[in-house]
Amino acid sequence: MEAPLPVLSLLLVLLAVGWGDGAGAAWAMSPGGCEHVQSTADCRRKWLRSVPRNLQGDIEELLLDDNTIQVLGRASLLSYHQLKHLSLTKNRMELIEPGAFLGSQGLHALSLADNLLFTNYSITAAALSALPALRTLDLAGNQLTEGMVSVLLSNLSSLESLSVARNVIMRLDSSVFTNLTQLLELNLEKNYIFEIDQAFEGLQRLQRLNIAYNYMTCIVDFNLIQLRVLNVSYNIIEWFLALESDDLFELEVLDLSHNQLLFFPVLPRQSKLHSLLLKDNKMSFYQLLPNGTSLENVTVQFLLIDGNSTNITTVKLWDEVCYSNLSSLRLLDMSQNQFWYLPEGFLAKMPALTHLKLNQNCLETFHLSEWDPLALLTDLDLSQNLLTELWEDVGAGPALPNLQLFNLSTNMLRALPAGIFTHTKQITTVDLSYNRLDLCPQPAVLGRSAPCVDIRGLATLTRLSLAGCGLRDLGGHPFRGTALTHLDLSDNREALSGDLGWLRDLAATLQVLSLRNTNLSSTSADFSALQSLVGLDLSGNTLTALPTSLGALKLRSLDLRDNSLTALPADVAWRPLGRSLQELYLSRNPYNCCTLGWWKALQSMEHLLVPDKHEVTCNYDSQRLNAWVLPEPVLRDCRWRTADMALLYLVLTLPTCLTLLVAFTVVFLMLKPKLLKMVKRRCGVSSPY
Ligand SMILES: *[C@@H]1O[C@H](CO)[C@@H](O)[C@H](O)[C@H]1NC(C)=O
Ligand SMILES: *[C@@H]1O[C@H](CO)[C@@H](O)[C@H](O)[C@H]1NC(C)=O
Ligand SMILES: *[C@@H]1O[C@H](CO)[C@@H](O)[C@H](O)[C@H]1NC(C)=O
Ligand SMILES: *[C@@H]1O[C@H](CO)[C@@H](O)[C@H](O)[C@H]1NC(C)=O
Ligand SMILES: *[C@@H]1O[C@H](CO)[C@@H](O)[C@H](O)[C@H]1NC(C)=O
Ligand SMILES: *[C@@H]1O[C@H](CO)[C@@H](O)[C@H](O)[C@H]1NC(C)=O
Ligand SMILES: *[C@@H]1O[C@H](CO)[C@@H](O)[C@H](O)[C@H]1NC(C)=O
Ligand SMILES: *[C@@H]1O[C@H](CO)[C@@H](O)[C@H](O)[C@H]1NC(C)=O
Ligand SMILES: *[C@@H]1O[C@H](CO)[C@@H](O)[C@H](O)[C@H]1NC(C)=O
Ligand SMILES: *[C@@H]1O[C@H](CO)[C@@H](O)[C@H](O)[C@H]1NC(C)=O
Ligand SMILES: *[C@@H]1O[C@H](CO)[C@@H](O)[C@H](O)[C@H]1NC(C)=O
């Protein structure tokens, strides 16, 4: 017990020295604490209070993140002439002394994020202005106001990339970024900006601007022609109006998602826009009222009063002709808005579209005609709308020759237009879940034929969801000719009531099958044909025993939650199923606590993961116990009840047997003389007594 004490005190001495003054001392505290990898010195999380001085002189990159450096002192980098990249994030830095970068004229990337540079920003500004080659600067999280930013940046005209995210900037005007003529990228995320007035005029090379998570209410006369990426998501923008001009804007990505837009934005007339993100706004088109009234020719007059002169302007407010050239648009996300229709010809302006997301709106119809080009569209998401029909069933609909994913989940569709998949030679995934549909050929409904969805012969289709479609009886081979690998039939209480011959049509290809909540009760459901199956969801049914055909399958994932299982077969761990399983869900079944041998065996399988193992319960004398840790008395009692049952019977029956035996013997002995006599008489042999 003596040895640790000197070591401890030595450590304390070193610590005291380290916390005192002087860079060398701090470094001595953990000699060799920095790791050198090629030309990088990694000194992160070392409790340093200053820059170590005894690193290799030729390092180009120095990482000092997560230390406690408060002041970057004069000439503290003097010995590192080659330094190009310095990172000091998450220190407690309040001040960079002028001259701190003496000898580091080549520094071109400096990260000062998450410090306290607001404290002595004007002195720090002077220090920064001595970095003629600085190209990348990160000042995020330093509690800086726009005034401080303006001072800090005033002499950094070589900057190409700047982040002032997570500060307290509220207003930007032309004085803040004046000298940053080389700037390509500017990050203003997570400030409190509510007004921007000509702040980016001088930034002639700016390509990427991020103003996400601020308080902008509108963007009018957007005129940053050279900008390629504008991110204004998570603001409270109601209006986006680009300058009316025929100049070609370089804009490629515009992110206006999570705002309060009421109208489709007025985009630059000519641009290179390929991604337009408008998710989660309040947009709609207003020319048509839901009762059929058209506001097409309704005009509104604006009275503009400017000083003592007034002007009247007449505007067709609901005019929804989109004047922008959207011929390069590839991704359009209008999900989570209030669109209930799209104006005629709206999508025709976007011939290059590959991804169209219209989910979570209130679309009642979605009319596409054979003239709507959309020839390149691969993903179409119309889920969570109020669709009762797609385009009219007469004549040819759009060809959609490149469509791969079609999501129609959660609508009110009864059928799909006939021939909808005639030209979709690339289609792989169709989600029809939560509509009221029937598959063709549908079960004969007395006399009349109701509409149905025909996917037979759709050879490219691999993933199909029909969850919650109210399917009845899948007789007649509705999946014949498909190569389905993933099929979801969950939440169809009557789908499995009839012939299960359709399973054999998919035997060669089906890999993942969901039969959750399908009223599957019979243990006779025969899965033995599905030799390619690797994932099976049988949760939410009324299984009382594991279907025997499963034992021979080589599943990797099986879900048995919410059934009526009292036990799994004792040998399940040694069957092909047990040996192949990697993921098994078991909870919410009334297992018997005394027949958990299978559970023990499964627990010993190393490759098997039971994610809900702590929720597996079992029943014991009308109590529900956690099967993961059964109390010892229960285990003992169970041993009595099961393995030692024979002994118990023996013990119980032994007294009775003994009594009977004794009684029998007594009777026998009492009757013995008579018996002997009887025998003698019968045999006619006399014996001498
Ligand atoms: C830095 O700012 C603090 C608080 O504003 C002040 O007390 C201190 O004197 C300043 N340091 C220098 C070197 O000016
Ligand atoms: C910027 O540079 C000019 C001239 O070199 C100098 O007068 C001025 O003080 C500098 N500004 C800052 C904030 O250091
Ligand atoms: C721009 O830089 C020049 C010197 O490079 C400097 O004199 C001037 O003050 C700077 N402008 C602003 C607004 O800081
Ligand atoms: C815009 O910024 C937000 C917040 O940082 C981010 O989640 C989103 O991906 C960005 N958008 C684009 C198109 O990069
Ligand atoms: C449709 O609704 C608008 C506004 O609610 C109403 O002014 C108009 O008269 C209605 N038109 C018809 C034909 O009902
Ligand atoms: C609007 O006006 C144009 C011409 O002025 C006319 O052709 C069109 O039918 C009108 N639309 C409606 C809905 O009244
Ligand atoms: C409008 O007001 C300006 C001053 O605000 C005045 O000089 C000018 O004469 C006025 N014009 C008219 C037409 O009243
Ligand atoms: C009024 O409108 C005319 C023509 O549209 C325009 O030339 C003039 O500048 C406008 N005046 C004001 C005060 O907006
Ligand atoms: C739209 O822009 C493309 C080039 O991006 C050009 O080829 C096409 O002619 C333009 N269309 C119109 C109507 O201006
Ligand atoms: C279809 O959309 C629904 C809801 O929007 C979503 O849950 C589901 O994962 C989507 N299906 C596919 C195949 O992407
Ligand atoms: C579930 O199946 C049982 C027979 O297996 C049947 O009696 C019952 O009606 C079915 N329930 C539903 C909702 O179809």
The three-state DSSP-derived secondary structure of 171-182 is: EEECCCCCCCCC
Q: Is 325 in the pocket of ligand 9 (CB under 6 A)?
A: yes
**CB distance 129 to ligand 3 below 6 Å:** no
In this predicted structure, what is the pLDDT of residue 642? 67
CA distance 495 to 468: 10
Q: Which two tokens stand for residue 360?
A: 């979570």
Closest to 420 measured CA to CA, from 453, 466, 442: 453
CA 434–ligand 10 middle distance (angstroms)? 11
For residue 642, tell me if it sits in a domain: yes
Note whether 523 and 548 are within 8 A (CB): yes
Q: Does ligand 11 have an atom closer than 6 angstroms to the CB of 157?
A: no
Q: What is the pLDDT of residue 10?
A: 38
Q: Determine which helix (DSSP H) or strand (DSSP E) holds 254, and give its type and residue range.
A: strand 253-255
The residue whose CA has the least distance to atom 4 of ligand 9 is: 327
Query: Closest-lying ligand to the alpha carbon of 289?
Result: 5
Q: How far apart are CA 242 and CA 227, in angstroms?
A: 13
Q: Whose CA is nearest to atom 12 of ligand 8?
A: 311
- Which pLDDT does position 554 carry in this prediction? 92
| Ligand 3 center–CA 176 separation, angstroms | 11
Among the bound ligands, the one closest to the CA of 433: 10
Q: Is the CB of 294 under 6 A from ligand 6?
A: yes
Please give the radius of gyration of the chain, using alpha carbons only, rounded to the nearest integer. Answer: 39
Q: Which domain holds residue 657?
A: 635-665
Measured in Å, residue 559 CA sits from the centre of ligand 10 at 21
Sequence-ordered strand ranges (E) for 4-121: 35-37, 40-42, 61-63, 71-72, 85-87, 95-96, 109-111
Nearest atom, ligand 7, residue 308 CA: 1
Contact 625, 631 (CB under 8 A): yes
C-alpha–C-alpha distance, residues 442 and 454, integer Å: 9
Gap from CA of 274 to ligand 4 centroid (Å): 15
pLDDT at 368: 78
* CA 168 to centroid of ligand 11, rounded, Å: 63
**DSSP letter (8 states) at residue 664:** H
> Is the CB of 212 inside a 6 Å radius of any atom of ligand 4?
yes
Distance in angstroms (rounded) separating the CA atoms of residues 541 and 561: 8
Compute the Cα dihedral for 433, 435, 439, 444 and give only its sign: positive
Measured from the CB, is residue 142 less than 6 Å from ligand 2?
Answer: no
Query: What pLDDT is stored for residue 22 in this prediction?
Result: 37
Which residue minimizes the CA distance to atom 2 of ligand 7? 308
Is residue 63 situated within a structural domain? no
Q: CA-CA-CA-CA torsion for 570, 574, 579, 584, nearest 10 degrees? A: 0
Residue 650 lies in a domain: yes
Residue 661 falls within a domain, yes or no? yes
pLDDT at 483: 93
**Do residues 347 and 374 make contact, with C-beta atoms less than 8 angstroms apart?**
yes
Provide the pLDDT for residue 28: 34
Total domains, the chain:
1
Q: Is the CB of 348 under 6 A from ligand 9?
A: no
Q: Which residues of the chain have pLDDT under 70?
A: 1-32, 302, 313-321, 370, 392-398, 442-449, 522-524, 642-652, 666, 668, 671, 673-689
Closest-lying ligand to the alpha carbon of 127?
Answer: 2
Of 515, 519, 543, best ligand 11 pocket probe by most atoms within 8 Å of the beta carbon: 519
Tell whether ligand 5 has an atom less than 6 A from the beta carbon of residue 291: yes
Q: Kindly give the number of the ligand 2 atom that is closest to the alpha carbon of 125.
A: 13
Ligand 1 pocket list (CB less than 6 A): 95, 119-120, 123
Return d(Cα 155, Cα 553) in angstroms, integer: 71
- What single-letter DSSP state applies at residue 453? B
At 88, give phi and psi (nearest 5°). Answer: -125, 30
The CA–CA distances, whole Å, from 339 to 79, 98, 324, 361, 639 equal 63, 58, 20, 5, 66
Classify residue 644: in a domain, yes or no.
Answer: yes
Look at the alpha carbons of 28, 29, 31, 34 in this order and tell me if their dihedral is positive or negative. Answer: negative
Predicted confidence at residue 350, as pLDDT, reads 92
Question: In the prediction, which pLDDT does 100 show?
Answer: 92
pLDDT reported for residue 374: 86
Query: Quick check: 137 and 156 in contact, CB under 8 A?
Result: yes
